[in-house]
Structures are given as structure tokens and as C-alpha cells.
């Protein structure tokens, strides 16, 4: 594991994700101030008791989550199938694609564990098993770095 004081490469995925995520958070904050909703700017640690305010709280959490996923997929680019699937999902949120993959032959072994994995990895429904495992490893590494970066940002702004 790298030290926390390590300098990141300017072209690395972590650096691109951090810049894009902070920019997305800034846009969310500006949108919240334009709407003049007081709960949109409060800390998510203490959810408000009112139903309307609770809905605003959950909407804010969902928007931060979407910003994190979109920033990571954008930082990775179109080199990986999972990032292409995420980017497509964010560009066309109303379109739900269901692609049927032909079973049998070609190494398409589809047991329960593989099906669960296909559902977890964006774009996994249309991959063969080898590609699915490769994309899963990369997706997990990106999620781990996303968590690390978000923790660092939270620590930075909580002090």
C-alpha cells in the first residue's frame, strides 16, 4: 500500500478521478444553492426527520454516488467494457438494454456465481467468462481506489 504523502502521477486514473469528482461535487453544490434548499448543504451524517427533507437527503446521496461512478468511468475512459457500460448508462439513463447471450460453446459457462458476477459488473451481461474476470479485477481495483480517494477527501474537509 502506498504512503499517504505519495505524489500521484498527473496522468494517473486516481488523479483524473479526483479532479473530476471534485468538479462534480462543486456542480452539485452550486445546483443546491441555486435551489435554495437548506438541507442540500447540510452534512449527510445527520439525516433530517421530515419526509420531504429526508427525500432531499436521499436524493443528495444518490447524486453524490452517481457523480463518483461517472467520474471514475470517465477517468478510465472507453478502454474498459465496464466503464463504457457506465458511461452509456449515464448518457442514456432511460434506455434499458437487455442483450441475450447465446449459451453453450465458446466458453460461456453460466452458473449461479457467474450470473451474479455478470449482474455486479457494468456491461458484464455480454462478456465471455475470461473477459468478465479481467473486467471484474479492474473494476474492483478502481472501486478500491475510489473509496481511498473519497476517504481522503472526507478527511480533508472534515478537519
The secondary structure of 9-55 as a DSSP string is: PTTSHHHHHHHHHHHHHHHHHHHHHHHT-GGGGS-TTS--SSHHHHH
Assigned C-alpha cell, 68:
463518483
**Tens-level pLDDT at each residue, the chain (159 residues):** 444 555 555 568 888 899 999 999 899 888 888 875 454 445 555 555 577 777 888 888 888 888 999 999 989 988 899 999 988 888 776 545 554 444 444 454 458 888 889 999 999 988 999 999 999 999 999 999 999 999 998 888 887
Predicted pLDDT of residue 2: 47
C-alpha to C-alpha distance for 62 and 18, rounded to whole angstroms: 18
Predicted pLDDT of residue 93: 60
Assigned C-alpha cell, 48:
433530517
Query: In b/e form, how buried is each residue of 114-132, taking b as 16+ CB within 10 angstroms?
Result: eeebbeebbbbbebeeeeb
Q: Record the pTM.
A: 0.67
Dihedral of CA atoms 45, 29, 144, 133 in degrees, nearest 10, equals 120
Assigned C-alpha cell, 52:
420531504
C-alpha to C-alpha distance for 23 and 142, rounded to whole angstroms: 19
Please classify residue 86 by burial: count the beta carbons closer than 10 Å to its beta carbon, then call 0-12 exposed, 13-18 middle and 19+ buried: buried
CA dihedral (63, 34, 95, 24) positive or negative: negative
Predicted pLDDT of residue 41: 47
Please, are residues 145 and 13 in contact by the beta-carbon 8 Å criterion? yes
Assigned C-alpha cell, 23:
468538479
Predicted pLDDT of residue 10: 58
Please, are residues 41 and 33 in contact by the beta-carbon 8 Å criterion? yes
Alpha helices in 46-91 (DSSP H): 51-76, 81-91
Amino acid at each position: 500500500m502506498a504512503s499517504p504523502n505519495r505524489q500521484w502521477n498527473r496522468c494517473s486514473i486516481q488523479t483524473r478521478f479526483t479532479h473530476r469528482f471534485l468538479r462534480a461535487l462543486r456542480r452539485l453544490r452550486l445546483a443546491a444553492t441555486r435551489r435554495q434548499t437548506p438541507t442540500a448543504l447540510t452534512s449527510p451524517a445527520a439525516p433530517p426527520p421530515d419526509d420531504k427533507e429526508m427525500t432531499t437527503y436521499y436524493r443528495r446521496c444518490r447524486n453524490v454516488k452517481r457523480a463518483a461512478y461517472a467520474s471514475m468511468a470517465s477517468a478510465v475512459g472507453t478502454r474498459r467494457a465496464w466503464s463504457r457500460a457506465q458511461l452509456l448508462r449515464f448518457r442514456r439513463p432511460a434506455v434499458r438494454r437487455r442483450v441475450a447471450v447465446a449459451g453453450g460453446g465458446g466458453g460461456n459457462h453460466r452458473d449461479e456465481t457467474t450470473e451474479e458476477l455478470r449482474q455486479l459488473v457494468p456491461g458484464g451481461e455480454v462478456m465471455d467468462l475470461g473477459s468478465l474476470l479481467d473486467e471484474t479485477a479492474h473494476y474492483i481495483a478502481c472501486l478500491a481506489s475510489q473509496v481511498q480517494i473519497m476517504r481522503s477527501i472526507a478527511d480533508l474537509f472534515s478537519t
